[in-house]
Structure 1
Amino acid sequence: MRIAILTDIHANREAFSAVLSDVERRKAERIVMLGDIVGYGPDPEWCCTRAQDLVEGGALIVQGNHDAAVTRPDTAMNITARRAIDWTRPRLSAEQATFLANLPMRQEIDDLLFVHASANDAQDWIYVTSAQRAMPSFRVSKARVIFCGHVHVPQLYSHDMNGRVKEQRMMIGAPVPLIRSRRWLAVVGSVGQPRDGRPMAGWAMYDTVTNELTFHRVPYEVALTVTKIRNAGLPESLAMRLVSGA
């Protein structure tokens, strides 16, 4: 089965649409969304409705910290994130807010685990940015492959038979074999707000038959999203971040 993994959409309609078109073109058989459907971007209503439609069609989804903040304000968020959520909240219908509030914290498919942030304590929203920060997820989970988002930068870690965790090299567009003698944690990147210096939407495809993971990037109408952010009166830093991809 070819599983498309999307995360951190962040109310970016143009990026979300571009990724879904790429997912269809690459013939994914299942979609999993790792949270943060809203926040930062100018199209929370559309993105939330699209996510609901995908779930009704069989997609899996977990809750991200921005999704949770719609109904449970998060004081740990920085001021820019809080301003974006405050702007987002009145634009969502009661049904959409309830949908986001009731999303599960984790999903599983066989030996695969899907969470938004660290599997160690999903509701603490820990950023997995190093091998040291990846270690707790391996300790608390028996999953062979853990997928998460939250960081907005694609990364891959392995856990060997001796308990050592290492960051693994990977190239965008090149399949990485996830050998079964190791366990793995993949940080998928971001659809709607990449932070690795590439201003293109990111997602990943995992093939359960070949046991390969491929990170993909897709161009989208960045200028249109930037214009929408500015017209909405959202912080200028959110517009510039999309331009730089950082």
Structure 2
Amino acid sequence: MRLALLSDLHANLQALEACLAHAQAQGAERLAFLGDLVGYGADPGPVVRRIMDLADEGALVLKGNHDDMAAHPPAGNTTLGESTAWWTHEQLDVVQRAFLAGLPMTVQDDRVLLVHATADEPALWRYVYDAQVAALSLEAAGKLEGVRYVFGGHVHRQSLYYRGADDKLISFVPTAGVAVPVSARRHWLATIGSVGQPRDGSPKAMYAVFDTTQAQLTFHRVAYDHHAAAEAIRDAGLPDFFADRLELGR
């Protein structure tokens, strides 16, 4: 089975549709959305509606920190995410807010554990920026029977870690479009990047496909009309910074 892994959509409808079309062309048979469906972008309502429809068709959907903030906006306004949480909340209807509020923090599907941030303390929203945090996440996932793969998002970058023969955690830099053998004899952790707001210097959307039969993981980059997505942010009256990020990929 080919499982398409998509995370950090951030209310970017243009990027979402481009990645869904690309995943279909890659033969994806199931979809998994690893959180942060909303936040920053101009189309939270349409994006959540689209994901709800896909969930009805069998897609797996997790909660991210921006989904949590949109469902329950914070009283403060100290971060960029918090600055748009109330705006996003007001763009969603009651059913969409309830959908976000009810999403799970993690999902185990056979040997795969899906999580937005880390498996050890998912509600703390820690970023897997290095091998140390990746090791903590893998250690927690290893306590779950049968889990060999941990897939997450949150960091808006694509990365891959695995345990070597000496049990040391090794990092691997993936190349877009190149399948990586990920034998179940080892333990693996991947951050699959951001569909809606890449931050590695390229505006191309990110997602990945896990082929469970071949034990291969392929990271993808997808061109889309990021200028239109940026313009939609400006037209919505959201901070220009969010639009600039889409155009610069930072």
Q: Does 1:202 align with 2:210?
A: no
Partner of 1:101: 101
Deviations 1:75-112 (A, max 9, x none): 79853211221211111000000000000111111110
Give the whole-Å Cα distance in 1 for the aligned partners of 2:128 and 2:217: 18
Deviates most, 114-123 or 82-91 = 82-91
* Contact 2:158–2:174 (Cα < 8 Å) also in 1: no
Deviations 1:222-242 (A, max 9, x none): 111111111111111101100
Deviation, structure 1 residue 168:
1.1
Give the whole-Å Cα distance in 2 for the aligned partners of 1:64 and 1:5: 14
Deviations 1:132-162 (A, max 9, x none): 1101111111220000000000000112343
TM-score, structure 1 as length reference: 0.97
* Contact 1:138–1:159 (Cα < 8 Å) also in 2: no
* Contact 1:146–1:185 (Cα < 8 Å) also in 2: yes
Structure 1 residues 241, 180: CA separation in 2 closer, same or farther (over 3 Å shift)?
A: same
* Contact 1:145–1:184 (Cα < 8 Å) also in 2: yes
Q: Does 1:163 align with 2:167?
A: yes
* Contact 1:80–1:235 (Cα < 8 Å) also in 2: no
TM-score, structure 2 as length reference: 0.95
Structure 1 residues 239, 71: CA separation in 2 closer, same or farther (over 3 Å shift)?
A: same
Q: 1:135-154 to 2 correspondence within 5 Å?
A: 135-142=135-142, 143-154=147-158
Q: Which runs of 5+ in 1 are unaligned?
A: none
How many percent of aligned residue pairs carry the same amino acid?
42
* Secondary structure of the structure 1 residue equivalent to 2:51: helix
Give the whole-Å Cα distance in 1 for the aligned partners of 2:71 and 2:228: 29
Deviations 1:184-222 (A, max 9, x none): 000000000001111011100000111000000111111
Q: CA RMSD in A?
A: 1.4
Partner of 1:211: 215
* Secondary structure of the structure 2 residue equivalent to 1:185: strand
Q: Does 1:124 align with 2:124?
A: yes
Aligned length: 246
Give the whole-Å Cα distance in 2 for the aligned partners of 1:161 and 1:146: 19
Give the whole-Å Cα distance in 1 for the aligned partners of 2:48 and 2:71: 14
- Structure 1 runs (4+) greater than 4 angstroms displaced: 74-78
Q: Which runs of 5+ in 2 are unaligned?
A: none
Partner of 1:31: 31
Partner of 1:192: 196
Deviation, structure 1 residue 74:
4.8
* Secondary structure of the structure 1 residue equivalent to 2:235: helix
